[in-house]
Structure 1
């Protein structure tokens, strides 16, 4: 009996130096019926050359190029090009254990009530060790994302809820988990660290942290409005959400008044020259 096809969606943006390690971890999977959709989101490095080598070596890889549109947009693009029963987003600077796909699909195939499968996370790179995820509950998820973006989910459910929100440039995974889980469905966490997350202090989210705090608040508002029924039903107190936003703004003010932030702004001006 043919095992179900798994679509691994791999967005790439200037991560050529890490791409081989990521794609090798896909090839190493003990589960063989997969397709990997590599999407180059307007990279200016040699991502294209590396990706094409892998496509030539293994026809399960597919490669696409598009104008830069951000991570959420690129994931949507990749999923639209894929055909698998199950979907797994994997960033191009991370990698996975050789048994991850098999273990996740076995769980999903045995229990139709399970909508999302993820694993314990191991940090590596500039910071090493287990990343302690909070225990999942829908109530906690509504206050703060507690499921990593690299998790397995069903295409049927993804399509049913409308997929990733196209209005979000980030936090799209949090929004998707709420969409999938707010009306029922279970989550399964594999307690082994099968997903390896690269910590890069020079990563895009860190670089844009200070500028993105206001954008983060705007995205948080979008998510609250999209799922206000669930927030009110399960949390019961919308003031908790407002408190989160106030804390975020207070945090922004503390950062902007800090010595580090002032020097960061000066350095930015120097390098722009």
Structure 2
């Protein structure tokens, strides 16, 4: 592939674990994109359903699609595997049950091409299930708010070079959840602009077996916060005057009080 082709190519990386029921719909939403050229890399992460067979059928049907099959290693490992293998200079992670609008990639690429200071482009989003769509009010991005919670869904576009500089997705977070939040912290804590497109470009499917529900216990939350503090202590100190706390919104006032008392 020539350098100019690689520069314009967008690689959509789709980790898939037991999402065969939705995978074709997800891939078709990408194939309907107004932007070209692109490639679709499905990473089958040790699925126990028919995901691998469906992915293989899609690859035979559509030349833009190819499949990587690996033992189950979690979504971070699957994303890293796909991005490592990607030929494109711009990456869009997309889970195997979510959807994008046809104009999303084209609009995001225009921003990344025109504004080198921008590291991440995403859009407005909605959540949906079989009952219909539900509004999703994403908070505006700021580095301070990112220290407290994530406002950028996993399916934002970024440059492959910035993924590498950030240190890739943290595969150690396999059982902690919120890997995308930690990745955006790594990507953005020391600079870089973020643009949210003014339209709905991402559709997040709500399912009974979502990982977020499985990683919402107090014990897992404490493990996740300890991991974040161990990796990003200087960032939290700058934005929160100390470490991230279990009750995240209390972090800065609590840290400030402890410092005033000489206990931090």
- The two structures have a TM-score, normalised by structure 1, of 0.84
> Contact 2:125–2:136 (CA<8 Å) still a contact in 1?
yes
CA distance, structure 2, for counterparts of residue 236 and residue 246 of structure 1:
13
- 1:156-198 C-alpha deviation (Å, 9 max, x unpaired): 1111121111211122211111111111110000121110110
CA distance, structure 2, for counterparts of residue 180 and residue 72 of structure 1:
15
CA distance, structure 1, for counterparts of residue 87 and residue 247 of structure 2:
38
Q: Equivalent of 1:165, from 162, 170, 174? A: 170
Deviation at 1:245, TM superposition (A): 6.2
The alignment partner of 1:229 has SS state of: helix
Partner residue, 1:260? none
Deviation at 1:243, TM superposition (A): 4.8
Task: Out of 119-128 and 180-189, give the one that drifted further.
Answer: 119-128
> Contact 2:221–2:246 (CA<8 Å) still a contact in 1?
no
> Contact 2:16–2:43 (CA<8 Å) still a contact in 1?
yes
The alignment partner of 1:131 has SS state of: coil
Deviation at 1:105, TM superposition (A): 0.3
The alignment partner of 1:128 has SS state of: strand
CA distance, structure 2, for counterparts of residue 237 and residue 86 of structure 1:
35
Q: Equivalent of 1:35, from 35, 39, 43? A: 39
CA distance, structure 2, for counterparts of residue 80 and residue 229 of structure 1:
28
Q: Equivalent of 1:195, from 176, 192, 202? A: 202
The alignment partner of 1:135 has SS state of: coil
Partner residue, 2:93? 89
Partner residue, 1:131? 136
Aligned length: 243
CA RMSD of aligned residues (A): 1.9
- 1:196-233 C-alpha deviation (Å, 9 max, x unpaired): 11011333432x246x4312321221112211111111
Deviation at 1:141, TM superposition (A): 0.2
Partner residue, 1:140? 145
Please state if 1:149 is matched with 2:154: yes
> Contact 1:217–1:245 (CA<8 Å) still a contact in 2?
no
CA distance, structure 2, for counterparts of residue 219 and residue 91 of structure 1:
21
CA distance, structure 2, for counterparts of residue 152 and residue 133 of structure 1:
17
- 1:111-154 C-alpha deviation (Å, 9 max, x unpaired): 00100001111111156222111111100001111111111111
The alignment partner of 2:196 has SS state of: strand
Please state if 1:80 is matched with 2:80: no
Partner residue, 1:268? none
Change (3 A) 1:204 1:159: closer
CA distance, structure 2, for counterparts of residue 100 and residue 48 of structure 1:
27
Please state if 1:184 is matched with 2:191: yes
Deviation at 1:246, TM superposition (A): 10
Please state if 1:230 is matched with 2:235: yes
Q: Gaps spanning 5+ residues in structure 1: where?
A: 248-273
CA distance, structure 2, for counterparts of residue 123 and residue 175 of structure 1:
22
The alignment partner of 2:116 has SS state of: coil
- The two structures have a TM-score, normalised by structure 2, of 0.86
